Chains A and B, each alone.
Chain A
Amino acid sequence: MNYLNKITFVLIVTIVSCFPKEEKVEPSPRIYQSVSIDAGPNKNDVVFYSLDEGKIVAKASPMDWDLHITPNAVQINYFRSMSVANATTNWENTDDTTGLSFSFLTDQLNDSLTQWELLEDQIYVVNMGFDNEYNSMGFMVLKVDRTSNGVVLKYKDLDGNNEFVNEIVEDDFYFNLRNDTKLYLPKTKEYDLALGKYTDYITVDDVSQDYTIYGLILGDASAYLLNDDFEKINASNFDQTQLSNRKDIIGWDWKRFNLDKNAYEILPDMTYLISTNSAYPCKLRFVDYLNDQGISGHPTFEYEIL
């Protein structure tokens, strides 16, 4: 009988064992301005946000436009992974991509150009990037000339068809080469942050290549990264001299994909100090990349004007 008791005890122990229980955590108070963004299906949407106004100023599809013309630059739509190559022949003979070297212009070799900026009076073969279903959109040939009060856009399909010459008397607008229309999305001074997919040259495990990734591009704001506890940072930590004008200084690497866990996670102590369009000092951090259903492409950031 004694044996029976011992066996019964061991049986009970082995049968009732189960996955370990865990304790509930206490919720933390939220004291900062919090913004949640929905990047849309396949993270295709582009969201423009103004820190000065504290609101989303526009939401667009990267399919809407191809070029953004500002008084200072003509930029390709980096939110659609467009890339360009300098044509090696004259306009009439530029009809294929043989021998061309394409660049996403995320980093310009020409120091006088900002990121994604095209040269004037240069014939480009433009890879129009990918549509929202990740299908290639083909190639066009483009030449931009600036006039005293606007720009002249000359463009055609790579096979020579559908050639247009379009003079536009404006200096800050977006343009769609495929349907020959201009449209109005926020000017760079009207937003601080734009969130969407763009292409960067990234290195993972000693292997580097261009890769399409979701991140944050600055408007006219400037910023720098301070690897410190967000909550401890105040106005005295703000150092104007460290501000960078790189549009992708915040970029994408505030998050990472944990291969083991098969999930995105926010990296700790990635605090960005930003000088807004209105030159207000501001601190910002990302606190999530998932929505409340666990789906990625829903960045949430918190910020405070210092």
Chain B
Amino acid sequence: MPTLGWAQTIIYPIDAETNFSINRFKCSYHNSTDSVTHESQQGVLQLSLTDTKEVIIYSEGYSPKVLVVFPNSTHQVKLSKPFYNLNEVIVTDIHSKKSFTNTVLNISKISSQQIEQLGAVDLKDALSFQNNIRISRDNAIGSAGLSLMGVSGDNVKLLIDGVPVIGRLFNQLDLEQFNLENMKQIEIIRGPMSVIYGSNALAGSINLITSNDGLKPRFNLNTNYESDGQYNISGTASNRFDNHFVTFSGGRMMFTGWSQTNDDRTFDWIPKEQYSARFQYNYRHDDARINVRSELIRSKLLDRGLPLLPYGETAIDQHYTNFRVDNSLSYENKIGESSIQLIAGNNNFKRIKNKYLKDLITLEEQEVQGKSEQDTQTFNASVFRVIFGPNQKKSRGIETLLGLDANYEVATGNRTKDNEQFQYDVALFGSAEKQFTSYLLLRAGVRYAYNSAFDAPLLYSLQSKVNLGNSQILKLGYGRGFRAPSLKELYLDFSDSRHEVFGNSSLSSESSHSFTGSYTKYSKTGKLESSTSVDAFFNTIQNKIELIVTGPIQAQYGNIGVYQSVGGGLSQNLTHNDFKVNFSFNYTGIYNRVDESKTDFFFSPQFAINPRYTWSDFNTTFSLFVNHFGAVSRVFSDEDNSNLNIQEQDAYTMMDATIHKLWGGKRFKTTLGVRNILGVVNVNANTTNVGAHTPNTSFISISPGTTYFMTIRYELFK
């Protein structure tokens, strides 16, 4: 036997998700005349090859993989399950299994393609049709907030490239401040992330991932017009210089204001002009990676007042100017088999409110003097986080991460108690993950924090992912979360002649227990690909902080007691050739123990459906976005629970339709669309005082009615 001419080529496949070996598999290749197939049930094949071959490795339940093998070589082949979209890398998960199906996190993402199809300009647009997210807008201050799984946005952490963002107005971050130019994807984690991210991550986290890498230079220009008065322009330019990658992006968003009836000089939706600029630098060398991001946002809002009666010759106008400067540096590297991640960031947020008396005869305006008439608030937050991942091989396959997280925030302004207040916390946290069998992935985390203003509880979490076979995944999670009272809630007093809002330095932190679970089944029948998910959650928050009315004009932040949200849902994604549809339904109940006599949850349904069809021959995608929000009720109290109020908000449905087309050699992307086809502007919000039986009807603004929009995106390099 001519053994010297036959070299042994060893092939052993492993599961790309779990790294466990795959015992039963086949390997095929062509020799000079025939197709040869070998089969193994021991997880390894030894092929006798005389020259280089292209082989196909396949195993039941996995996508086939083609690779080129050489004589006398060993090949470890990672096989992936077909529906798991393993290329869809996630960033928010700090552990190494960074794909959607590998992680224990209950996570979803909005891709840049979906952003384009939706014609979304800012984060509010992008989140408008997401499952179990409700968007709300305060037209008086021109700011949009959200609630996630029935929990308000003050318990949702917002991050840009993993760095927390500050600058909340009435405990909500303004979603309209976050332009989506150069956004790679948006990741939404449902469930507490407090062990990793600390305060505000009690209900979940939203991480905006920017695009800061690539092989080719980019020059993109994006323009958008919407018939309610939006004129937006943004652009990105980037290039690689060896190991260095530099990106500049920026834009201007202009909203000229909108009113349902244009019968005076005021606006229901006040005008806003916003400039943003972002510089990013990325350096890679071997395993080392450095990212620098510097970002500036300036927005100006104009709130015109009604002409003062009886002559209507003067009016009080207010101008709000927001400045946001975010800087961050991240570094990651490998030290032998260990890893290290480091993030340092600083956010500065300044909000200036100026009040003007405007002479409507001359159109001249002058600033109103007086301490209470003008206001500047400044918040500065710094974060430093280092995460060390010891060599996994020395810890029995447990991927362990040990971290230090330090945060410092300072508030200054004439309304802040003693003009300046600060708060810091330093936390140690650890997270350990182990793939026990090919079926079971477990992760446990713990965080101990010291906070300068209050006692932070010990936080811990346990999350699991179980592969049930037949492309089924079960995820179960528990986490303890908390939210530190913000500096505003603690120390910011606001008073003028007519209203007084007091911070409360004796507030306790909110703490929570959260349970999440989801089951997902992937299947493929012919060309029909399907994923079906059923999920459920339960959040209970102790010491919920709310603004409590204490007098005719007085209100103070206080801990109201227990707040709970419970719910579940079903989502279905179907793909058949060029047709895709996503459908989700969820039912969320809210309860707070303000009314001790009642233990009922107020439940509200929500369903979203998003069918889309791509006409490949014409590079055109037609999309419909529908999101129905059921009626919601909540009980709240005033004056130390002496009065009970029930607020009921009517149901409404938002529906958008878009056409997205690529043309000009795919250098141009155009999205035409209609927003809010059903023309919802306001919904009723009745507040009933239980004691006095005095219903009070008001409205909540939803949208400036039906609008038409057009977005043109030009990409110079394809």
User: What residues make up the interface of A, taking CB atoms closer than 8 Å to B?
Assistant: 3, 6-7, 10-11, 13-15, 17-20, 22, 24-28, 43, 202-209, 211, 214, 230, 257-268, 285, 287-288, 290, 292-296
**5 interchain pairs (CB within 8 A)?**
A14-B231, A18-B256, A25-B360, A264-B497, A290-B314
Report the interface size for chain B: residues with CB under 8 A from the other chain.
61
Chain A residues within an 8 Å CB radius of B366: 293-294
Question: Given contacts A259-B498, A261-B305, are A268 and B361 in contact (CB under 8 A)?
Answer: no
Question: Given contacts A18-B273, A28-B313, are A265 and B308 in contact (CB under 8 A)?
Answer: yes
Chain B residues within an 8 Å CB radius of A261: 303, 305-306, 316, 318
Q: Which of A207, A285, A290 has the largest number of chain B CB atoms within 10 A?
A: A207
Whether B363 is near chain A, meaning CB under 8 Å from some CB there, is yes
Q: Cα distance A28–B314 when bound, in Å?
A: 12
B225, A27: Cβ atoms closer than 8 Å: no
B256, A28: Cβ atoms closer than 8 Å: no
Nearest residue, chain A, Cβ from B496: A262
A292, B357: Cβ atoms closer than 8 Å: yes
Stretch at the interface among B168-176, B412-420, B545-553: B545-553
B369, A293: Cβ atoms closer than 8 Å: yes
Chain B residues within an 8 Å CB radius of A13: 225, 231
A10, B712: Cβ atoms closer than 8 Å: yes
A208, B552: Cβ atoms closer than 8 Å: yes
In whole Å, how far is A206's beta carbon from the nearest beta carbon of chain B?
Answer: 6
A14, B316: Cβ atoms closer than 8 Å: no
Q: Cα distance A194–B311 when bound, in Å?
A: 25
The one of B316, B638, B694 in contact with A263, judged by C-beta atoms closer than 8 angstroms, is: B316
- Enumerate the 7 nearest inter-chain pairs by beta-carbon distance, A residue then B residue, closest first: A294-B357, A257-B498, A294-B368, A204-B552, A263-B316, A17-B231, A14-B233
Tell me the chain B residues, 366-388 only, with Cβ under 8 Å from chain A: 366-370, 373
Nearest residue, chain B, Cβ from A290: B357
Q: Cα distance A266–B714 when bound, in Å?
A: 53
Q: Cα distance A20–B552 when bound, in Å?
A: 36
Q: Cα distance A304–B363 when bound, in Å?
A: 31
B361, A26: Cβ atoms closer than 8 Å: yes
A7, B712: Cβ atoms closer than 8 Å: yes
A19, B256: Cβ atoms closer than 8 Å: yes
B496, A287: Cβ atoms closer than 8 Å: no
Chain B residues within an 8 Å CB radius of A27: 311, 313, 361
Nearest residue, chain B, Cβ from A211: B552
Q: Cα distance A259–B499 when bound, in Å?
A: 8
Whether B223 is near chain A, meaning CB under 8 Å from some CB there, is yes
B221, A288: Cβ atoms closer than 8 Å: no
Chain A residues within an 8 Å CB radius of B233: 11, 14-15
Q: Cα distance A293–B308 when bound, in Å?
A: 14
Chain A residues within an 8 Å CB radius of B643: 206-207
B223, A10: Cβ atoms closer than 8 Å: yes
Chain A residues within an 8 Å CB radius of B309: 265-268, 287
Nearest residue, chain B, Cβ from A259: B499
A206, B254: Cβ atoms closer than 8 Å: no
Q: Cα distance A295–B692 when bound, in Å?
A: 37
Question: Given contacts A3-B664, A14-B224, A263-B355, are A28 and B363 in contact (CB under 8 A)?
Answer: no
A295, B305: Cβ atoms closer than 8 Å: no
The one of B232, B310, B639 in contact with A287, judged by C-beta atoms closer than 8 angstroms, is: B310
In whole Å, how far is B700's beta carbon from the nearest beta carbon of chain A?
Answer: 14
